[in-house]
Amino acid sequence: MASATRTRDGGERTTQQTRRRFARRQWARRWLRWKPVVALVALLTLSIACVYTVYFSDALAVEGVEVTGNSRLSDEQVLEAAGVPVGEPLARVDIDAIGGRVGSLADVASVDVSRAWPHGVLVAVVERTPVALLELAGSLRGLDASGVVFGTFQPAPPGLPRVQTTSSTSADALREVAEVVSALPDDLAATVDHVEVETVDQITLVLRDERVVRWGSAAQSEEKAAVLEALLGQDARAYDVSVPGTPTTTR
C-alpha cells in the first residue's frame, strides 16, 4: 500500500512539473509575441515624454540671454532689439527672428544667434567698423566698407578721413567712397584729410597738406592708389588718377 501511495505522489509531482513547464513555454511564446508591442509602447511613451519636456514644459525654458561681440552697442540695446521670450521653452524660440531683429540695428554688420542648452540663448554680434566719417545733421556718423552709414561718434576716432557730401550725393556714391577709402594703403590713408563726393564718378581726395587728388569713380582703386603713391614724389598741387594708365599732375 505504501508503495502504491509513493507511486501516486510521484506521478502527481511529475504531472505538476510538466504542467509548470508547459505554462512557462506558453508564457514565453506569448511574451515573444507581445514583446515588440510592449517595446513600441514604451518607446512611444518615452518619446511623448521627451517631446513634452523639450517643447511644452518649463524644464528647459529660457532663463537668460548672453550677448557677446558688442562694444559701441550696450547689452541692453541688443537685448531690447532681440526680444528673447524668457520663460518660453528653449526649443520653441525662433532664433532666426531674433537674429533678424538684432541684424536690423544699424551698428550690426552680422549676428549669430544660437541656443545654449539647457536654459540660455547666445547672441554673438559683429559690429560695423568705420573706414571714414560722415557729417550729417551736425553729428559724425560712421561709414563702413560697404557704404552703410551707422552710429554716432563723439569724439571722432583718430586717423579716419571725413567725407563731405552735397545734396546730390546718393547712396551709390557713398558706396563708391567707401570702396575708395578701403582700397587706400594705411600710409596713404593717413595723408588724407577729407574726401569730397558729388556723384559716383566725381570723388576727390584732399590731402592734409592741401594737395588735391581727382580720383573719379571707385573702379581700379588699388591701381590708382599705387599710381598716386608714385606721383606724390613729384612737386605738384593737384593730381589726376581717374585714368590710372594716363595720370596727370598740375603745379
Say whether pLDDT at 26 is over 80. no
Whole-prediction pTM:
0.73
Where helices occur in the chain by DSSP H, the ranges are: 2-55, 75-82, 95-103, 171-183, 186-189, 221-231
**Contact by Cβ (8 Å): 156, 193:** no
Q: Mean pLDDT of all residues in the chain? A: 87
pLDDT digits (tens, 9 = 90+) for 117-135: 999 999 999 999 999 999 8
Nearest to 161 by CA among 137, 127, 197, 126: 197
pLDDT band at 31, cuts 50/70/90?
low
Pair (98, 31) in one structural domain? no
The CATH number for 116's domain is 3.10.20.310
Count how many Cα atoms sit within 13 Å of the Cα of residue 80 in the half-sphere of its side chain.
6
61: phi then psi, degrees, rounded to nearest 5: -85, 160
DSSP 191: T
User: In total, how many domains does the chain have?
Assistant: 3
**Contact by Cβ (8 Å): 147, 139:** no
pLDDT band at 188, cuts 50/70/90?
very high
Radius of gyration of the chain (CA): 38
Task: Tell me which residue range forms the domain holding 42.
Answer: 1-56
Pair (70, 106) in one structural domain? yes
* pLDDT score for 65: 96
pLDDT digits (tens, 9 = 90+) for 58-68: 788 999 999 99
Say whether pLDDT at 53 is over 60. no
Q: What whole-number distance in Å separates Cα of residue 209 and Cα of residue 226?
A: 19
Say whether pLDDT at 203 is over 90. yes
Pair (134, 238) in one structural domain? yes
